[in-house]
Amino acid sequence: MITRRDLQHWARQPGAVIANTLVFPVMIVLMFGYLLGGAMIVPGGGDYRDFLMPGMFAMTMVFGIGATLSAVSTDAARGVTDRFRSLPMAAEAVVAGRAVADMLSSAVALAVLTGCGLAIGWHPHRGVARAAGALGLLLLLRFAFVWIGIYLGLRFYDNSEAVTAVRTLEFPIGFLGNPFVAIATMPAWLGAIALWNPLSSTASAARQLFGDPVGAGPSWVTGHAILVAVAWPVILIVVFFPLSVRRYRHLSH
Amino acid sequence: MVSPAIACEGLRKRYGTTTALDGLDLAVAPGTVHGLLGPNGAGKTTAIRILATLLRPDAGHARVAGFDVVRQASHVRERIGLAGQHAAVDEILSGRQNLVLFGRLCHLPVSAARRRADELLGRFALAEAGEKPVRQYSGGMRRRLDLAVSFIVTPDVLFLDEPTAGLDPHGRDEVWQTIRALVAEGTTVLLTTQYLAEADQLADVITVIAAGRVAAEGSPDKLKAMAGGDRVDVVLRDARDLNSAAELLRTQLSTEPRVDHDRRLLSVPTTDRLAALTTTIRSLEHAHIIAEDVAVRRPTLDEAFLHLTR
């Protein structure tokens, strides 16, 4: 039911949904793909748009945290969460419903981006199975960020500045990685940060699986990109899933 | 004696160093409206949140509809409705969608939830606005929808936390009428309010709380009586006359007048309104003290409130 409520939101506000989940990433793809893409060089060769698409996928997954955070904190601040809690329903259901809804919306966003990528000439080079694996890793990353968003939303719902701060931090996190620019082009210290960014590992893993240029020198992280792309989200989930459930229960303290 | 719909004993709750509740005792008879009245920060909302199972008390016990709010919270939740300070409804969904959503969350089957939504829209005078998104509702309509949601499964006990805060007089009247209609069906209501008029209008019994504990309890009339009986108020033209006039009335009426220098006011408690009025006018005239206004009045609940929470 909680998931259904969000689906009803989409139905009632098609404009907002299209703008947030669809237009923005597509716009960035076109901007970087065509406007800035000409000036971009992928070290080791390869087409920039091929390099860009997996990065865009990963960035869209991470930026989804903003939507999760807003939805959770708005409900908590308005008393909707309290109302849920005063009803005879399981605490976990509220949190899980939110997670399912956000995963669905991210899956749609991913599908649209894929369509957009195909339209500008990008396509997976290494077969359907590996491409599906890449999409799986991307959704796993999103799933991790759903729990971070839920936790932060419940933690800071009465503090709109904190919510804004997190939403602002999306950008440095998004750009301090490899979605747009190859890590090999960065100064060493910056490259190290970008390399270990969870977003980067998922993007690199997706690039490998799609058969797109990875654009990074040999390093342990790049060599084990898929392993790291599984490990990072799993670590985040292991930390933030219990924290979110605990936080929800502890609203009563 | 009928067992109370709400009973709590020695409820305590601290937030850090702030004590929100300091041993609150409360008993509410079934089918009545009980007002919790108190200044900001007196612990009204904390009390409601504990009783509605949203918050755990640090100490003390509370039973609602016969069940313990901590150990049998899910049984309590099946029997209560809650309308908080915010209209806790979904802004994007329509009124009807909200009612169906919460009906489904109350474990009603789809068809029953839809039927109930239509019934409630009609009863809360929202039928015409049923399909509009809640964002477009007026304050009064939102509150009515909020109340309707808390009535999807007719609750044994309804908690209303400042149900008319922020509403205009028209919206407030609508909400009052709705609450009265609900009580007529046998629901017990515990409502918090800062508006004395609201408690006076709706509540059978009022508990005044201050600093987390009960300061006074009784019917609105009883509380007014606690603030003292009738008074004669005299406003003088010249503030310099206040002391001599106070002395004069003290001897003539053998009571202690309250002196308010800012308003040049003498307020004299009395049991015999007319006699006190005539004596006051006559003795002031005799002493050549000019009064601008002389009036007899009954205490308001406001005075009772100020008196009790001081």
Q: Above pLDDT 90, what percent of chain A?
A: 8
Q: Is the pLDDT of residue A204 over 90?
A: no
Cα separation, B205 vs B218, in Å, equals 5
Cα separation, B104 vs B77, in Å, equals 15
Q: Residue A142: its pLDDT value, please?
A: 92
Q: Is the pLDDT of residue B196 over 90?
A: no
Q: Is the pLDDT of residue B229 over 60?
A: yes
Cα separation, B66 vs B117, in Å, equals 28
Query: Taking the CA of residue A248 as centre, how many other CA atoms within 13 Å lie in the half-sphere pointing to its CB?
Result: 23
* pLDDT tens by residue, A101-154: 889 888 988 888 888 888 888 888 888 888 888 999 999 999 999 999 999 888
Averaged pLDDT for residues A221-241: 86
SS3 content of chain B, % helix, strand, coil (to 5): 40, 30, 30
> A91 in contact with B at a CB cutoff of 8 Å?
no
Averaged pLDDT for residues B82-86: 79
Give the pair of three-digit tokens for residue A171: 């950008």
Cα separation, A39 vs A52, in Å, equals 13
Cα separation, A142 vs A50, in Å, equals 22
- Residue carrying structure tokens 């996190």: A173
Q: What is the ipTM of this complex?
A: 0.76
Query: Is the Cβ pair A86, B77 closer than 8 Å?
Result: yes
Helices (H) and strands (E) in chain A, counts: 12, 0
Query: Which has more confidence, B184 or B223?
Result: B184
Query: Is the Cβ pair A82, B84 closer than 8 Å?
Result: yes
- Per residue in B159-178, is it b (16+ CB within 10 Å) or e — as a string? bbbbbbbebeeebbebbbeb
Query: Is the Cβ pair A82, B82 closer than 8 Å?
Result: yes
pLDDT band (50, 70, 90) for residue A251: confident
> A9 in contact with B at a CB cutoff of 8 Å?
yes
Averaged pLDDT for residues A4-9: 77
* SS (HEC) of B167-201: CCHHHHHHHHHHHHHHHHCCCEEEEEECCHHHHHH
Averaged pLDDT for residues A16-37: 75
Closest by Cα among B225, B223, B177 to B201: B177
- Residue carrying structure tokens 């603030």: B227
Task: Give helix A2-12 / helix A91-119 axis angle, nearest 10°.
Answer: 40
Bridge partners of B296?
A: B232
- Residue carrying structure tokens 């009986």: B229
Which range has the top average pLDDT, A33-37, B166-170, B264-268, B294-298? B264-268
Q: Is the pLDDT of residue B1 over 60?
A: no
Task: Report CA torsion sign: B154, B155, B156, B161.
Answer: negative
Averaged pLDDT for residues A173-182: 77
The number of beta carbons lying within 10 Å of the beta carbon of residue A246 is 11
Q: Is the pLDDT of residue A81 over 90?
A: no
Q: Residue A138: its pLDDT value, please?
A: 92
Cα separation, B187 vs B178, in Å, equals 12
Per-chain mean pLDDT for chain A: 82
Query: Is the Cβ pair B56, A78 closer than 8 Å?
Result: no
Closest by Cα among A9, A8, A138, A144 to A65: A144
Indicate the SS3 state at residue B279.
helix
Q: Residue A137: its pLDDT value, please?
A: 92
Cα separation, B170 vs B143, in Å, equals 12
- Per residue in B197-219, is it b (16+ CB within 10 Å) or e — as a string? ebbbbbbebbbbbbebbebbbee
SS3 content of chain A, % helix, strand, coil (to 5): 80, 0, 20
> A155 in contact with B at a CB cutoff of 8 Å?
no
Q: Residue A236: its pLDDT value, please?
A: 92
Q: Is the pLDDT of residue A217 over 70?
A: no
> B73 in contact with A at a CB cutoff of 8 Å?
no
Q: Is the pLDDT of residue B79 over 70?
A: yes
When CB atoms are compared, the residue of B52, B92, B105 closest to A9 is: B92
> B297 in contact with A at a CB cutoff of 8 Å?
no
- Residue carrying structure tokens 């041993």: B23
* pLDDT tens by residue, B93-114: 999 999 999 888 888 899 999 9
From residue A28, give the alpha-carbon distance in Å to each of A22, A25, A33: 10, 5, 8
Bridge partners of B27?
A: B7
Give the residue on B whose Cα is nearest the Cα of A5. B101
Work out the minimum CA distance from A36 to partner chain B, whole angstroms: 38
* Pairing of the two strands B67-68 and B291-297: unpaired
Closest by Cα among A99, A102, A95, A103 to A76: A95
Cα separation, B269 vs B95, in Å, equals 52
Per-chain mean pLDDT for chain B: 85
Interface probe for A, chosen from B12, B105, B137 (most Cβ of A below 10 Å), is: B105
Give the residue on A whose Cα is nearest the Cα of B75. A88
Q: Residue B310: its pLDDT value, please?
A: 64
Give the pair of three-digit tokens for residue A208: 């490998």
* pLDDT tens by residue, A46-76: 788 888 888 888 888 888 888 888 888 888 8
Q: Residue B169: its pLDDT value, please?
A: 84
* Pairing of the two strands B6-15 and B59-64: antiparallel
Cα separation, A44 vs B38, in Å, equals 73
Listed in sequence order, the residues at least 6 apart from A38 whose beta carbon sits closer than 8 Å to its beta carbon are none
Cα separation, B250 vs B280, in Å, equals 10
Q: Residue B176: its pLDDT value, please?
A: 86
Contacts of A86 in chain B (CB under 8 A): 52-54, 77, 80-82
Q: Is the pLDDT of residue A175 over 80?
A: no
pTM over 0.90, yes/no: no
When CB atoms are compared, the residue of A5, A8, A86 closest to B82 is: A86
